[in-house]
Structure 1
């Protein structure tokens, strides 16, 4: 970048160079999506492969113990951020003093929470009747301090759309942590293999973050900046806490109602679905927040941009999650072994839950990016209460009943959030037209697959092949006819960025690329 976000009075929003800000916004957004997608694919695929291997080396009981511990860590890590990361990303005219203030607050909160968690390890372990947590929780508590150190520097890179540095950081940290975890599992370390994986990943990511980024905290603190952050950050923190509570509270309740073995099955099923969603949609979500913030004063452009991102995200996410629902019965035992057959049916149902969650992430970014954190907080809290209530209510009928209830609830929450967006921002049903067309194309593909699979009673590799070949062909044809605008938009966005970069390369001295 030509400037850093820490220059006095500097503003590293999405605006490009004077006279070229709009093309700069689109090009940098597309490039940002590319790097964010590369990170997600490399990290998630390598993590999934490690998860498969560790699933064969470790027991459901060991996975359940670490799942409980990580549920606590995830919640406390969100608190340590204090809601300031979104503020850093969106704040115009960010100063070094403000950035350093956010850094010291985040670090201090992470340290306090780490000490508190270590002190409460024994009562928490007794609460869940899991003695292993007495040692696991104090070790993992140390990662809260590291996460507190990392929050603001990572937010500054995201604010400046420097997703290349963020991608390298996550990939290297993930690969090293996997090597350590697999080595320890092979050596018989049991649950500590999973603990070490988390610790190594967090520490390595923090080291690389400070090495690659420009931010260096200053010994300064501003009460005025802290108050300004708190006004926005308290609501944003509430939204993030609500989302974290949904992810952490769900395994808590499943473990409490059905036990750690059932939680192990649930963790495998949910991990598979969440990994697929991250691979398909998280990259767009990472870039969407800064883009919506930049366009918040232009309602018409904002609505069109939201519709385009939603349709592009759905074009990838909807057919993939539909395919996952069709093949889970074969895929889960194939990847994890026959001992995880219980997770197969649950994963098939959870595909719908995670589909709505992936699409709702864009809705959430739209509300937060336009300053409506309070509105999103209300929606998040309502979704949280409903989700956790369903887990308790349906738990007596088992994991399948919980999965069905959460899928229905996810669809309802998505619809309600859409209605709120239409009322507050004027982004109505027209923004969802292409998404519905993509869903129809995926439905036609699923119908064709089921007709062949059920008619010929196919299983295993044969069913997987039918889903991939026949389902893919039918979806491609149907999408070309029904969602042509989305197909054309995808093509023009990619080709447009490539063409501009070629022109800049040709204009640069020596035919090289223009330095950024």
Structure 2
């Protein structure tokens, strides 16, 4: 496969994953809005967050990064694949035991909320079920079969949202457990349909040892990521209470979570793309810059809508949620940095340097919780729970700089070239947000309906952002279409 054909395949994968994620995002936002507007109060949402914030860490702990090792390394035998499955299953059983006898009782006791422990224990069903799709799913990703994988993810999202809406009026916050199990069941069925695979009674440790070591480093990195991106919830709950945590989580839902999900579109394709280009330094550096810009653009395209329209979007739910608007705007700043930083770990992992990612994550996992706690103690009396949001703005740039230096040094890429690739995008994002905020200020008091204000504000912000991309960056529907078209079969090699 030529570099041009490989780039087109990456672009097509991004298109499929992006389309599926956009549809999933619309479903998730609509469902979450219904839940918070009708059935779940800020205090109840805070209680659910105390249980759910630890779930990504537990999910990653059960797999030990072994599926990622299958993506990064292409030599797979039946014995090796089966060994990965049995190791994952053993880890799952170990984690489940730890949840039942240690983690769940500890959290329930600390926050004086038994339901937190019960929800964590119920989530163990999902931890065990996901073993059935990890290995075949990794094989699909390795082959860049994102068309089928995106369809599976979309159908799984539909199942999750249906389960949430059906369960919420019946069991309250337990609906989040029902949704997670529904998503897992559909994902398992879909992956097994497109990539049928079952383990054999084989165990080949020598052939799998290298994958385990690689997976250990990458999984520890991702676990540490969710540690430092999830501890802010527990710190808010500890210092400011459950209702404040519910509001903070709503702010994160609008700013940080969509940014993370959207950037996952790029990251899910970036890892196999970087793995394939690891022996071509020039192509690797160019791919890194393109994916960094793309991750920033897709996240910024969402934030230019959310930031200026946040008060009206929250008011559409209920007046109780409007107080989260200030935290939304602060967290949006961190979301932009997290969008571009999300491309670096798959780069380092893809080129076989997961130890660098682990070093960064270890630094961030130590420093960011300290920032959260210090901000809550020093600024909490003045800013309330929003002080923890400001800790993201103050502390995360330091951690990001450590990560970026690792990437630029490996790529032999100058800081100036990297900054130039992103600087104008920051400017267009600020311009779009300012335009939307200005229009909303003019409508304040004159337009009584929050839905109208939100739609007009979002339209102005997004219109400004798209106009900047077209006029200044040359990103048009035609250029996007051209990037997705494969080269002619009889095309000669590119002229150097």
In the superposition, the TM-score normalised over structure 2's length comes to 0.89
Distance 1:161 1:410 in 2: 32
Contact 2:376 2:387 in 1 (8 A): yes
> Could you tell me which residue of structure 2 aligns to residue 464 of structure 1?
454
Alpha-carbon distance, 1:216 to partner: 2.4
> Could you tell me which residue of structure 1 aligns to residue 86 of structure 2?
104
Matches within 5 A, 1:126-165: 126-165=109-148
1:405-431 deviation digits (Å, cap 9, x = unpaired): 212323333333222322232122313
Q: Secondary structure at the match of 1:161?
A: coil
> Could you tell me which residue of structure 1 aligns to residue 468 of structure 2?
478
> Could you tell me which residue of structure 1 aligns to residue 484 of structure 2?
497
Higher relative contact order at CA 8 Å, sep ≥6: structure 1 or structure 2? 2
> Could you tell me which residue of structure 1 aligns to residue 44 of structure 2?
62
Alpha-carbon distance, 1:180 to partner: 2.6
Is 1:296 the counterpart of 2:278 in the alignment? Answer: yes
> Could you tell me which residue of structure 2 aligns to residue 9 of structure 1?
none
Distance 1:381 1:373 in 2: 12
Alpha-carbon distance, 1:275 to partner: 4.2
Q: Bigger CA drift: 416-425 or 449-458?
A: 449-458
Residue 412 of structure 2: which of 412, 422, 426 is its match? Answer: 426
Alpha-carbon distance, 1:194 to partner: 2.3
Q: Secondary structure at the match of 2:279?
A: coil
> Could you tell me which residue of structure 1 aligns to residue 344 of structure 2?
363
Q: Secondary structure at the match of 2:278?
A: coil
Alpha-carbon distance, 1:366 to partner: 1.3
- Alpha-carbon distance change, 414 to 185 in structure 1, aligned in 2, over 3 angstroms: same
Alpha-carbon distance, 1:58 to partner: 1.8
Distance 1:198 1:457 in 2: 40
Distance 2:451 2:421 in 1: 33
> Could you tell me which residue of structure 2 aligns to residue 376 of structure 1?
357
Tell me, which stretches of 5 or more residues in structure 1 are unaligned? 1-19, 505-516
Contact 1:37 1:279 in 2 (8 A): no
Alpha-carbon distance, 1:320 to partner: 3.1
Distance 1:146 1:250 in 2: 29
1:226-264 deviation digits (Å, cap 9, x = unpaired): 321232122112211111212332222222222222211
Q: Secondary structure at the match of 1:145?
A: helix
Contact 2:136 2:195 in 1 (8 A): yes
Contact 1:296 1:370 in 2 (8 A): yes
Aligned length: 478
Contact 2:64 2:220 in 1 (8 A): no
Contact 1:117 1:138 in 2 (8 A): yes
Contact 1:154 1:209 in 2 (8 A): yes
Matches within 5 A, 1:6-405: 20-55=1-36, 56-120=38-102, 121-187=104-170, 189-278=171-260, 280-334=262-316, 336-396=317-377, 397=380, 398-405=384-391
Alpha-carbon distance, 1:373 to partner: 0.8
Q: Bigger CA drift: 228-237 or 102-111?
A: 228-237
Contact 1:78 1:241 in 2 (8 A): yes
Distance 2:444 2:203 in 1: 68
Alpha-carbon distance, 1:33 to partner: 0.9
> Could you tell me which residue of structure 2 aligns to residue 410 of structure 1?
396
Alpha-carbon distance, 1:290 to partner: 0.8
Alpha-carbon distance, 1:196 to partner: 1.6
In the superposition, the TM-score normalised over structure 1's length comes to 0.86
Q: Secondary structure at the match of 1:132?
A: helix
Contact 2:96 2:124 in 1 (8 A): yes
Alpha-carbon distance, 1:89 to partner: 0.6
Contact 2:293 2:340 in 1 (8 A): no
Q: CA RMSD in A?
A: 2.4
Q: Bigger CA drift: 469-478 or 296-305?
A: 469-478
Contact 1:391 1:402 in 2 (8 A): yes
Distance 1:146 1:225 in 2: 26
Contact 1:441 1:482 in 2 (8 A): no
Contact 1:109 1:148 in 2 (8 A): no
Distance 1:319 1:196 in 2: 31
Distance 1:111 1:273 in 2: 34
Q: Bigger CA drift: 276-285 or 384-393?
A: 276-285
- Alpha-carbon distance change, 82 to 330 in structure 1, aligned in 2, over 3 angstroms: same
